[in-house]
Amino acid sequence: MLTNISRQLNTGALAIAGSVAALSFAGAAQAASMIAVTGSATASSWGTLNPTLTPGAPTGLAGTPTDGFAGLSYTDVSAIQPIQIFGTGSGASTMFTPGGTVNSFAQINVGGGTTVNITPTVASGTFNTSGGMSTTVYTVMGTAFFDATTGLDYSGVFSLNVVSVGSGWIYTLSLEKSSLAVPEPSAILGILAVVGAGAFARRKS
């Protein structure tokens, strides 16, 4: 991961923008599927080295699930895992270094069941004090892979916001799945075989 904060911000922002653009292009004929859930969380206080963000079980939806996730309830998202980011919050805002891939980050009860694996690419935090009250906000974004137990797999993006409220914390987790399925390795090999055969035929001719 990047160690320079400015490079991390620029590169991470480009990565997210690229992911969103890719989803928009790939899903031009069919919108992506999105679900966002909320609930209580625990998180390290501002100024803690390498804070950990731990979402609890969802207790509500943020908005209405769309397309492939339409009709799902917040109870259909479960087993959300903690995310650790690296660095120390300082001043009013800090760019953190995101951690590596988190396999089995969450489960979605759709179809035969879907496991969400994530790779954070951007992590940031802000700290504000007003009227004797302080508010901390942690944000982590990145790419996601929706691994279906049965059926097709899909790529996508995710975002996690964790906010301090009084002495506690709340979170919002958004999961967006592309409408373009990820080909199985066997399918990719088949495509390559056809392309290779075509190239060989052209050389022979």
Q: CA–CA separation, 155 vs 114, rounded Å?
A: 12
Confidence at residue 30, expressed as pLDDT on a 0 to 100 scale:
54
Confidence at residue 1, expressed as pLDDT on a 0 to 100 scale:
33
pLDDT tens digits, one per residue of 13-67: 444 444 444 444 333 335 799 999 999 999 999 999 999 999 999 999 999 999 9
| pLDDT band at residue 2 under the 50/70/90 scheme | very low
Using DSSP bridges, classify how beta strands 33-43 and 168-182 pair: parallel, antiparallel or unpaired: antiparallel
Place of tokens 């137990």: 149
Q: Which of 40-54, 67-81, 102-116, 183-197 has the lowest mean pLDDT?
A: 183-197
**Strand partners of residue 106:** 116
Confidence at residue 111, expressed as pLDDT on a 0 to 100 scale:
86
Enter the DSSP assignment of 192: H
pTM here is: 0.76
Confidence at residue 96, expressed as pLDDT on a 0 to 100 scale:
99
- Tokens at residue 191, please? 């495509």
- Tokens at residue 91, please? 């001043």
User: Dihedral angle at the C-alpha atoms of 20, 24, 30, 34, nearest 10 degrees?
Assistant: 20
pLDDT tens digits, one per residue of 111-143: 899 999 999 999 999 999 988 899 999 999 999
Q: Each residue of 129-141: b (16+ CB within 10 Å) or e?
A: eeeeeeebbbbbb
| pLDDT band at residue 194 under the 50/70/90 scheme | very low
Q: Which position has the higher pLDDT, 130 or 192?
A: 130
pLDDT tens digits, one per residue of 141-162: 999 999 999 989 999 999 999 9
Q: 193 pLDDT exceeds 80?
A: no
CB atoms inside a 10 Å sphere around CB 195: 10
